């Protein structure tokens, strides 16, 4: 039997990895496979961490840190720090209060949360409780008329951007989930998709209705014409796609391999980030996610061209361990670690984070 969420955080919890251990004891094994697993042999999942671990930092001494801060501005809004919450589905699998507990934890640390298309809570309920206007992650649905209505609803609810996920036209091959026989428990549904015409399940890939209706660049143009909200394209790994996204009028991209959950053996997000930053030449802000577990990982991402990062699994670990308090503490640990890493590398602002922070490869 999984343990209940904690009321108070044990004093020996010091890092995000400690939260993973606490979460594991509190999540039923099938849901644990869903949360922590990734595609096929999970090579990309491991590489997301290994690539950060290979990078070394280059500290500078005696820099003026008297005005040090982590503030940034994106799409005309000010954010207190560059650590954002990545969209993840069905938070109620991990805590009875689901997305609302995540939001409460996020608010405590002035963090922007991205709400998944597959959230188990109505978007209006989330935005009403939000102190930082959340972003909404959109999967363009086979039913485009419904998708257009959903976008209107998200705008009316007060979301401040749309994160359009492009790297998952179908579910990755999740062998760990298959082996654990994971099925979404009864009563769990993506409530924001209620009333949508669904595509019949198919036992084949090519020729299925799902692929027949999978989004293309034309759908990005269509979405651009349907909303004034900033569009942030998530799941870009190739510099050509980054440039094409810019030409379609997106406002930012997220360099991401979906936490290793879609196509296995693609490179770590942090590894492709420099080539995308080089291609874009500052045309668009870049965010990135995948494997962020330490403040030094945030620092490295910003040094290599990201304006901000997103965190996926560790937020759910905090949620499962101790609800809103756990989410807030995970964010607090990461933010404090980022500030320490900035101070110890002698960089007072995010603008000072450039490739010179990374020790040159020999």
Interstrand relation of 77-79 and 72-74 (parallel, antiparallel or unpaired): antiparallel
Closer residue to ligand FMN, CB minimum distance, 263 or 348: 263
Task: Indicate the SS3 state at residue 276.
Answer: helix
**Minimum distance of ligand FMN from residue 11's CB (angstroms):** 26
Tokens (6 digits) for 49:
């961490």
Judged by CB under 6 A, the residue of 35, 103, 272, 284 near ligand FMN is 35
Does 120 contact ligand FMN by CB under 6 A? Answer: no
The residue among 65 and 196 lying less far from ligand FMN, judged by its C-beta, is: 196
Give yes or no for residue 262 binding ligand FMN (CB under 6 A): no
Would you count residue 102 as binding ligand FMN (CB under 6 A)?
no
Pick one of 102, 116, 141, 325: the residue that binds ligand FMN (CB under 6 A).
116
Stretch that binds ligand FMN, among 180-188, 223-231, 306-314, 317-325 (CB under 6 A): 306-314
Q: Which residue's CB atom is positioned nearest to ligand FMN?
A: 312
Encoding tokens for residue 116? 């998944």
Question: Which residues does the annotation mark as catalytic?
Answer: 258
What backbone phi and psi angles, to 5 degrees, belong to 252?
-170, 165
Instruction: Report the b/e string of 121-142 with b at 16+ CB within 10 A.
Output: bbbeebbeebebebbbbbbbbb
Closer of 174 and 347 to ligand FMN (Cβ) = 174
258 counts as binding ligand FMN under rule CB under 6 A: yes
DSSP, res 238: S
Q: Is 196 helix (H, G, I), strand (E, B) or coil?
A: coil
Buried b (16+ CB within 10 A) or exposed e, 314-339: bbbbbbbbbbbbbbbbbbebbbebbb
Q: What are phi and psi of 336, to 5 degrees?
A: -65, -40
**By rule CB under 6 A, what count of residues binds ligand FMN?**
23
Judged by CB under 6 A, the stretch of 54-62, 200-208, 279-287, 311-319 that binds ligand FMN is: 311-319
Q: Coil, helix or strand for 192?
A: helix
Figure out which of the listed residues 102, 118, 160, 325 binds ligand FMN, where binding follows CB under 6 A: 118
Choose, by CB under 6 A, the member of 22, 39, 42, 48 that binds ligand FMN: 48
Nearest C-alpha neighbor of 298 from the set 275, 276, 273 = 273
Does residue 87 interact with ligand FMN by CB under 6 A? yes
CB atoms within 10 A of CB 236: 26
- Tokens 């940034």 map to which residue? 72
Q: Which residue from 120, 142, 172, 259 is in contact with ligand FMN, where contact means CB under 6 A? A: 259
SS3 assignment, position 28: coil
Residues 127-156 that bind ligand FMN (CB under 6 A): 137
Q: Does 113 bind ligand FMN (CB under 6 A)?
A: no
**Footprint (CB under 6 A) of ligand FMN, residues 166-225:** none
For ligand FMN, the binding residues (CB under 6 A) are 34-35, 48, 86-89, 116, 118, 137, 165, 234, 256, 258-259, 261, 289-292, 311-313
């Amino acid at each position: 039997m999984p343990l209940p969420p904690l009321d108070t955080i044990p004093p020996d919890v010091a890092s995000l990895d400690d939260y993973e251990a606490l979460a594991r004891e509190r999540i039923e094994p099938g849901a644990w496979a869903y949360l922590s697993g990734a595609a096929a042999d999970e090579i990309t999942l491991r590489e997301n961490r290994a690539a950060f671990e290979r990078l070394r930092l280059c500290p500078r001494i005696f820099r003026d840190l008297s005005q040090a801060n982590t503030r940034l501005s994106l799409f005309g809004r000010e954010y207190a720090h560059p650590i954002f919450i990545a969209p993840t589905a069905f938070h109620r699998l991990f805590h009875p209060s689901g997305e609302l507990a995540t939001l409460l934890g996020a608010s405590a640390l002035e963090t922007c949360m991205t709400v998944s298309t597959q959230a188990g809570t109505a978007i209006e309920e989330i935005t009403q409780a939000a102190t930082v206007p959340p972003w909404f992650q959109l999967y363009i649905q086979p039913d485009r008329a419904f998708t257009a209505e959903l976008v209107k609803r998200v705008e009316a609810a007060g979301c401040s951007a749309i994160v359009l996920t492009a790297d998952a036209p179908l579910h990755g091959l999740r062998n760990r989930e298959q082996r654990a026989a994971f099925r979404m428990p009864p009563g769990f549904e993506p409530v924001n998709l209620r009333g949508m015409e669904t595509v019949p399940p198919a036992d084949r890939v090519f020729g299925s209705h799902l692929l027949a209706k999978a989004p293309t660049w034309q759908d990005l143009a269509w979405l651009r014409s349907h909303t004034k909200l900033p569009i942030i394209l998530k799941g870009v790994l190739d510099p050509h796609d980054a440039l094409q996204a810019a030409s379609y009028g997106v406002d930012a991209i997220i360099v991401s391999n979906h936490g290793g959950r879609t196509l296995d053996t693609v490179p770590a997000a942090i590894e492709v980030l420099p080539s995308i930053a080089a291609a874009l030449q500052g045309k668009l802000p870049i965010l990135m996610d995948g494997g962020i577990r330490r403040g030094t990982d945030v620092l490295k991402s910003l040094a290599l061209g990201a304006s901000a990062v997103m965190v996926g699994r560790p937020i759910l670990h905090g949620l499962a361990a101790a609800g809103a308090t756990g989410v807030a503490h995970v964010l607090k640990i990461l933010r404090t670690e980022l500030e320490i890493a900035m101070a110890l590398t002698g960089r007072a602002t995010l603008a000072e984070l450039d490739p010179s922070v990374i020790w040159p490869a020999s």
